[in-house]
Amino acid sequence: MVEQTGNIDALLQEERRFPPPEEFARKANIRDPGVYDEADRDFEGFWARFAEELHWFKKWDKVLEWDPPFVKWFVGGKTNVAYNCLDRHLGARRNKAALVWEGEPGDWKVYTYWDLHREVCKAANALKSLGVRKGDRVTIYLPMVPELAIAVLACARIGAPHSVVFGGFSIEALRDRINDSQAKVLITADGGYRRGNVLALKGNADASLEGAPTVEKVLVVRRTGTADDQMVAGRDVWWHDLVDAQSAKCDAEPMDAEDILYLLYTSGTTGKPKGIVHTTAGYMVGTYATAKWVFDLKEDDVYWCTADIGWVTGHSYIVYGPLANGATTVMYEGSPDYPDRDRFWAIVEKYGATICYTAPTAIRTFMRWGEEFPKRRDLSSLRLLGSVGEPINPEAWMWYWQNIGGGRCPVVDTWWQTETGQILIAPLPGITTLKPGSATRPFPGIQAEVVDEAGVPVGAGQGGYLVLQRPWPGMLRTIYGDPDRYVEQYWSRYPDTYFTADGCKRDEDGYFWLLGRVDDVINVSAHRISTMEVESALVDHEAVAEAASIGRSHDVKGQAVVAFVTLKESVPASDALVAELKQHVATKIGAIARPDDIFFTAELPKTRSQKIMRRLLRDVAEGRALGDTTTLADPAVVESLKAQYDDDE
Ligand code: WTA
């Protein structure tokens, strides 16, 4: 199956080619490469054909209204995403497994479409009884329990935009997100299980609500039994008391195509996290179409995306995309090494997963643990593998292909963002010849380009910025409450063109090779953290005068957070302080943002206009020869930093 080409000047791994395995290609949903040209000729018609497959209370009048950078899809249409994820399947699929959930301690539950429909209706009625009306925001801060998927769908059913906050986020991060969205209700749990421990959430939720006055009611899922004495009278209600008592009948609210479906906060380069706004119809069509074609979804697939619903991947490809397709979607609560390092593969074996979608950071961890763990389990049910969140290095791709896919499963490397809502660059596994490390080419109907500073497309093999030149249905509509920032952040660099802030190159076959972020976002274990947030957290500590943070490459996590800190004059540097500052960042933002290294420095390198030169700090942290220092106010600062860093390594 592996074809080697004769070209030797590029890296060897870039020369490997994997055409679709014959057996796979024969059965694939999409076998005709003509779909690309067809979609290009009429991209509106292309997306509209997917929309036709879904349920509408009222059909749209117009597919697209594009007034750059503001977009509307399926204008005039009325639909409901939860209806499409549930009710639409209550005919032939009513007793099919919709959600297969496994808890970390080993408990598990299967919800058929009928079951899930009932639970979502009850939860929707419960939200209504708490005063939630169409348009009210609901913040959801839950571990990966079934109630998380149910809560999201219940919000969608009644037209209350949800804002899911990852359960690993800190008190302050939660509070900021609640306040920005002005949420009326918070759904949380007493705790969840992670690596055998209880991850307590209720205490965090309570603390964050001091200073979040918009929240009137808190709905609490009982998972760990660790907050029975923490219920606040008049405000807190147990999920099992309220939801279980509701009627299982709740009509889905007919939503306007452009009504908000959800907000999801993500890190930007400056300022507070951005509330990315996704609306109803376009997002539904975009996730439906891409789940169907990229994952080649079939009626009998058991599809598992290992992400957390707290991130966009979980929204689009655990909940909405798969369920809109009537698929069986698997959800796992805990960590991949509990009770042992074969847990993921035990799950694949137990439920007969046919598709597994995970992140390169996880794959590199599995590589480090060794092949013996996947070997313990029967992985023969798998037929397709996926990757998302950061560039996958060819070595990890090959390991995944070989050790998890047994050399028989195409690996779809899918590039997209919280903002794009849906996969935009990825193979169609029945058609595309794969190259390890490349996300291959744009999904049909998507127009992507790699350009230089001036917006001119660069030649084959040259690096540039990835941009998108045509609207797509799942794209963000704005930043919640801040349309100016939306325009400035994504649309100001090039006219009528979406700026991704990712570096990219195209090869001579037109394949896209993603090169990582070009802005001040650090991609840790496939999650975005802004340098600015880490810096604010550090400066918040009483010992710190100034801080700069950057990402440096890390074998497993992709990038690790490194911080350079200037202490206040009276404060002596010490190892204890390093530990304290790391913990401070983890407490302020969440464990995911904890710096791997902190270096003290008398001064940070700055330009004459006093901008911190993160590029130079990156050079220092990567151990590279120093880049251009001509604009630096005091070049000696970097030299001394570099000397200190080299000593430490
Ligand atoms: C990176 C996650 C290379 C990229 C869906 C992007 C990737 C950011 C890939 C978005 C991929 C995501 N190859 N890089 N297949 N997928 N990225 O918003 O830098 O959490 O801009 O969305 O992750 O991260 P986000």
Cα 461 to averaged position of ligand 1 atoms, centre (Å): 21
**Per-domain boundaries in the chain:** 22-448, 521-648
Cα-Cα-Cα-Cα torsion 400, 524, 179, 334, nearest 10 degrees, comes to 40
Nearest CA to ligand 1 atom 15: 415
Cα 414 to averaged position of ligand 1 atoms, centre (Å): 8
* Cα separations in angstroms, 68 against 44, 518, 520: 16, 24, 26
pLDDT of residue 7: 31
Model confidence over 13-45: pLDDT tens digits? 468 999 999 999 999 999 999 999 999 999 999
User: For residue 109, what are the β-bridge partners?
Assistant: 101
Counting from 1 in the atom list of ligand 1, the atom nearest the Cα of 392 is 13
Cα 313 to averaged position of ligand 1 atoms, centre (Å): 10
Model confidence over 184-240: pLDDT tens digits? 999 999 999 999 999 999 999 999 999 999 999 999 999 999 999 999 999 999 999
Pocket test for ligand 1, best of 385, 420, 502 (most atoms within 8 A of CB): 502
**Phi, psi of 458, rounded to the nearest 5 degrees:** -90, 160
Cα 238 to averaged position of ligand 1 atoms, centre (Å): 36
Q: Who's near 435: CB < 8 A, 6+ residues apart?
A: 14, 16, 17, 18, 507, 511
**Phi, psi of 538, rounded to the nearest 5 degrees:** -70, -45
Which segments within 185-295 are labelled E, that is strand?
Answer: 185-189, 191-194, 197-200, 217-221, 236-238, 255-256, 260-266, 274-279
Identify the CA nearest to 564 among candidates 577, 576, 550: 550
Nearest CA to ligand 1 atom 25: 417
- How far apart, in whole angstroms, are the C-alpha atoms of residue 198 and residue 445? 45
Cα 388 to averaged position of ligand 1 atoms, centre (Å): 7
pLDDT of residue 626: 67
Tokens representing 43 are 């991209």
Counting from 1 in the atom list of ligand 1, the atom nearest the Cα of 414 is 15
62-67 and 70-75 beta bridge pairing: antiparallel
Pocket test for ligand 1, best of 417, 443, 530 (most atoms within 8 A of CB): 417
Tokens representing 635 are 């070049």
Cα 468 to averaged position of ligand 1 atoms, centre (Å): 15
3-state secondary structure of 369: helix
Counting from 1 in the atom list of ligand 1, the atom nearest the Cα of 500 is 21
pLDDT of residue 2: 34
Counting from 1 in the atom list of ligand 1, the atom nearest the Cα of 501 is 21
- How far apart, in whole angstroms, are the C-alpha atoms of residue 576 and residue 592? 20
pLDDT of residue 467: 98
Tokens representing 486 are 């939306």
* Cα separations in angstroms, 216 against 137, 235, 236: 12, 7, 9
Cα 267 to averaged position of ligand 1 atoms, centre (Å): 12
- How far apart, in whole angstroms, are the C-alpha atoms of residue 382 and residue 491? 41
Model confidence over 269-299: pLDDT tens digits? 666 789 999 999 999 999 999 999 999 999 9
Pocket test for ligand 1, best of 276, 308, 416, 522 (most atoms within 8 A of CB): 416
The reply to whether 22-448 and 521-648 are identical in fold is: no
pTM: 0.91
pLDDT of residue 307: 97
Cα 562 to averaged position of ligand 1 atoms, centre (Å): 20
Q: Who's near 351: CB < 8 A, 6+ residues apart?
A: 100, 102, 302, 304, 330
Cα 415 to averaged position of ligand 1 atoms, centre (Å): 6
Strand order in the sheet with 411-414: 108-112, 97-102, 328-332, 302-305, 355-358, 384-388, 411-414
Q: Are 327 and 317 in contact (CB under 8 A)?
A: no
Cα 132 to averaged position of ligand 1 atoms, centre (Å): 33
Cα 9 to averaged position of ligand 1 atoms, centre (Å): 29
Half-sphere exposure of 473 (CA within 13 A, CB side): 29
Nearest CA to ligand 1 atom 3: 391
pLDDT of residue 627: 67
Cα 600 to averaged position of ligand 1 atoms, centre (Å): 31
Q: Which residues of the chain have pLDDT under 50?
A: 1-13
pLDDT of residue 634: 75
Neighbours of 247 (CB within 10 A): 10
Instruction: Provide the CATH number for the domain formed by 521-648 in this structure.
Output: 3.30.300.30
| CATH pick for 22-448 out of 3.40.640.10, 3.40.50.12780, 3.30.230.10, 3.40.50.300 | 3.40.50.12780
* Cα separations in angstroms, 162 against 159, 181, 479, 579: 9, 9, 15, 36
Neighbours of 7 (CB within 10 A): 9
Cα 293 to averaged position of ligand 1 atoms, centre (Å): 19
Identify the CA nearest to 225 among candidates 246, 244, 194, 200: 200
Pocket test for ligand 1, best of 423, 504, 523, 524 (most atoms within 8 A of CB): 523
Return the axis-axis angle of helices 575-588 and 531-539, rounded to nearest 10°.
120
Q: Are 221 and 142 in contact (CB under 8 A)?
A: yes
Nearest CA to ligand 1 atom 4: 390
Counting from 1 in the atom list of ligand 1, the atom nearest the Cα of 316 is 5
Nearest CA to ligand 1 atom 24: 417
Nearest CA to ligand 1 atom 1: 390
Pocket test for ligand 1, best of 278, 514, 519 (most atoms within 8 A of CB): 514
Nearest CA to ligand 1 atom 5: 417
Counting from 1 in the atom list of ligand 1, the atom nearest the Cα of 516 is 19
- How far apart, in whole angstroms, are the C-alpha atoms of residue 301 and residue 144? 22
pLDDT of residue 493: 96
SS (H, E, C) 312-366: HHHHHHHHHHHHHCCCEEEEECCCCCCCCCCHHHHHHHHHCCCEEEECHHHHHHH
Tokens representing 268 are 């930007």
Counting from 1 in the atom list of ligand 1, the atom nearest the Cα of 514 is 3
Ligand 1 first shell, C-beta below 6 A:
266, 311-313, 388-391, 413-418, 439, 500, 502, 514, 516-517, 523, 527-528
Peptide bond preceding 595 in cis form (omega within 30 of 0): no
Alpha helices in 358-516 (DSSP H): 360-369, 372-375, 394-399, 483-491
Q: What angle (nearest 5°) sits at the alpha carbon of residue 63, between those of residues 430 and 155?
A: 85
Return the axis-axis angle of helices 43-52 and 34-41, rounded to nearest 10°.
110
Nearest CA to ligand 1 atom 11: 415
Cα 421 to averaged position of ligand 1 atoms, centre (Å): 11
